[in-house]
Chains A and B, each alone.
Chain A
Amino acid sequence: MTVIDLEVTSLRDLNQMLHGLREGTNETFRVINPKGRHAIAVGLDAPVTVEIDGNAGYYCAGMNKQANVIINGSAGLGLAENMMSGTVHVKGDASSSAGATGCGGLLVIDGNAGARCGISSRGIDIVVKGSVGHMSAFMAQAGALVVLGDAGDALGDSIYEARLFVRGAVTSLGSDCIEKPLRDEHREKLGELLQAAGLNGEIDLGEFRRYGSARNLYHFHMDNLEAY
């Protein structure tokens, strides 16, 4: 295992080194003294593990492909933004726009996520063990957002085909987002996601409610003018 101390090695050197890894490498790296620096472990494209010891700043693990990034602390705005594949696991909280625009992979947040969690997601799966803030899953196109706690205002506003599962209370649903029945296929997907997030059967799937698109805003319609 390689240890990188960000008080010694510059952030640019760290990211450059991670970008330069040869194909197929599966090494483990430990990053110490992150001290809230921005853009740590961004743009990875190798099946490596990067463990960050402490709190990370903005855009940590953004654009991740293949890699497994673990943050032993909390993360700032835009965690795992635009992730393509791989896993990002933050053991504390995440600030706003966690998992924004993600195309794939799994983001696990052990604590709470701020506003706009999973905004405009396009395939990423997100499991939040705490609660999410307002405007989460705004315009979410694909993928899933699982919330074990509560969801803030305007959940799933203008949502497309992403699946939202919330165990706690939802302050309000956004435009065109409605509750939908939790069918077997959804239970199966939910069970898989919880397992992937390290929860092996201790959570009753029946406690979740599913939300998704009413599909009324897909195309412009004069009657819906107020909702656009």
Chain B
Amino acid sequence: MCGIVGIFLKNRSLEPELGSLLAKMLGTMCDRGPDSAGFAIYGAGDPEHVKLTLRADRVDADFAALAKKVGAAIGVPVAVDVHATHAVFKVPTSSEQAARDSIAELGQDVKIVGSGTRMEVYKEVGRPDAVAKRFDLAHMAGSHAIAHTRMATESAVTTDGAHPFSTGRDQCLVHNGSLSNHNGLRRELKRKGLSFETENDTEVAAGYITWRMSEGSSLGEALEQSLDDLDGFYTFVVGTEDGFGVLRDPIACKPAVMAETDDYVAFGSEYRALAGLPGIDQARVWEPEPAKVYFWERH
């Protein structure tokens, strides 16, 4: 089944409330995906710095100590923001590769799960409302965010198998559905040099989009191309530094409903997820059409 929620704020005065709005939306979708959850949130950032989201396998990882060591190794202090098993390291963009090398060398049981100017990615096994609470989503701020609740069908219930999947810098993808040609496509993408960490179908979709964009496609074009190359059921929601996009497969078996007001554009697998949003009674509520790429961007 799986559930997706997403919100893109048009009214910047709502930005401090982004996390609490998303947490409520995510909570209503627990029924659709009780085994794991994750979210990507686009918060503060500047072009001189890159935010690296790190995830530890252990609950007692000492991120502060690691940040200090990495800072010493690259010669610039590293700001760190810890959220349970995850932490965001903010490093100068010019030192990104050095920081990545240093984390790989010094960080035990830690891996980088997302990077970007503004994006932070969190995911974990467990009930979605508990996952949101563990990371303190309700107190996060930002311009837009997408989240996912997972009911696993194509691969194991693991943190690696949870969504979102990063598709590149400041880019991520969540998916409701199941792809039927992911094994074949994974083999093709491996031949093209991509690597995969799971048997998950969505990771293949994320890899596909990454590959298309590395070949010069825009995100919109990559989504259009996925209509030809991905077989199966899907509703995708993608996040980028400036906005978010929605695509449903041509059969459109997987649900999707959207709401738009002067303040926001919101996505939910079910209307229930949107019912608590401010001003929803006056919102334009509609169902995104099959095989049509939708995109909203900040100007």
- A residues with a Cβ closer than 8 A to B are 35-38, 54-55, 57-58, 74, 76-77, 92-93, 95-96, 114-115, 133-134
With CB as the reference atom, state the residue of chain A lying closest to B276. A35
The answer to the question of B196 belonging to the interface, with a C-beta cut-off of 8 Å to chain A, is no
Interface of B is mostly: loop
Q: Is the CB of B287 within 8 A of A55?
A: no
Interface of A is mostly: loop
Q: Is the CB of B287 within 8 A of A95?
A: yes
Q: Is the CB of B275 within 8 A of A36?
A: yes
- In the docked arrangement, what's the CA distance between A74 and B275, Å? 12
The distance from the CB of B15 to the nearest CB of chain A, in whole angstroms, is 25
Q: Is the CB of B281 within 8 A of A115?
A: no
The distance from the CB of B42 to the nearest CB of chain A, in whole angstroms, is 26
Q: Is the CB of A35 within 8 A of B275?
A: yes
Q: Is the CB of A74 within 8 A of B285?
A: yes
Q: Which of B255, B273, B274 neighbours the largest number of chain A CB atoms within 10 Å of its CB?
A: B255
- In the docked arrangement, what's the CA distance between A76 and B274, Å? 13
- In the docked arrangement, what's the CA distance between A35 and B28, Å? 11
Contacts A57-B272, A77-B255, A93-B287 supplied; 17 other A-B pairs, CB < 8 Å? A35-B272, A36-B271, A36-B273, A36-B274, A37-B272, A55-B285, A57-B270, A57-B271, A58-B270, A74-B271, A74-B285, A76-B271, A95-B255, A96-B252, A115-B252, A133-B290, A134-B252
| Smallest CB-CB A-B distances: 5 pairs | A36-B271, A35-B275, A36-B272, A36-B275, A55-B271
Instruction: Give every chain B residue within 8 A of A133 (Cβ-Cβ).
Output: 252, 289-290
With CB as the reference atom, state the residue of chain A lying closest to B248. A115
- In the docked arrangement, what's the CA distance between A37 and B276, Å? 12
Q: Which of B257, B271, B274 neighbours the largest number of chain A CB atoms within 10 Å of its CB?
A: B271
With CB as the reference atom, state the residue of chain A lying closest to B289. A133
Instruction: Give every chain B residue within 8 A of A134 (Cβ-Cβ).
Output: 250, 252, 290
